[in-house]
Amino acid sequence: MTVDMFKNILPSVHRADKNFYNNLPETTNKSKLNFWMVHRWVSSGYNNKEYYIRALNEWCNDHYSDISDHPELQWLLLTIVGMRGQTYPKGCFVGTPNSKATESTLDKFLLAVYPTINNEELTLLKETNTNDDFQDLARGLGYTDKQISDIFNGKRRSKKK
């Protein structure tokens, strides 16, 4: 089961749903939940953006490397940041400065979606997601099948087993 950032994760952060992470179905690969990416989206709340950036830095990012092996704790810290009623438009991502261009079509696509991402973050994003995940992202952003095929050099989605 795939957990959707906009339908499941971000609303759960803002409901302060402390049980969301533990209540994910057994079929969900919890290790695929990319807390770094969740932090970036939470900090993009277009209402009260300054609050989110400060709260995330104070409560979630401080000692991040120490708690990175404790996903339940990371989730609980995220829930104290949430403000009820916050919504996230899909084009409102807060990246980091120092973006650098690369040559692959996948990299160009990801840089277009996340214009301020740097090379290290780009590498991490590609390591923690599959081509199917990126194709789903492209589809969700309204890319046509031809555009998606061009991005992935004609490679189609892998068949589900």
Residue with tokens 């194709």: 135
Residue 72 is assigned to a structural domain of this protein: yes
The reply to whether 157 falls in a domain is no
Rounded Cα distance, 106 and 89, in Å: 23
Under 8 Å between Cβ of 12 and 76: no
Least confident of 14-23, 72-81, 92-101: 92-101
Does one domain contain both 72 and 119? no
pLDDT of 99 higher than 50: no
Q: Position of tokens 């696509």?
A: 109
Q: In the numeric block, which tokens belong to residue 147? A: 């555009």
In the predicted model, is pLDDT for residue 83 greater than 70?
no
Q: Is the confidence at residue 45, as pLDDT, over 70?
A: no
Q: Domain count for the chain, please give it.
A: 2
Q: Which residue segment(s) compose the domain that 114 sits in?
A: 105-151
How far are the Cα atoms of 79, 107, 153 from residue 72, in angstroms, in the given order?
11, 31, 38
Mean pLDDT on 66-86: 80
- Taking the CB of residue 21, how many other CB atoms lie within 10 A of it? 22
**Average model confidence (pLDDT) for the chain?**
77
133 has a pLDDT exceeding 50: yes
Is 96 inside a domain boundary? Answer: no
In a domain, 109, yes or no: yes
Per-residue pLDDT at 139 exceeds 70: yes
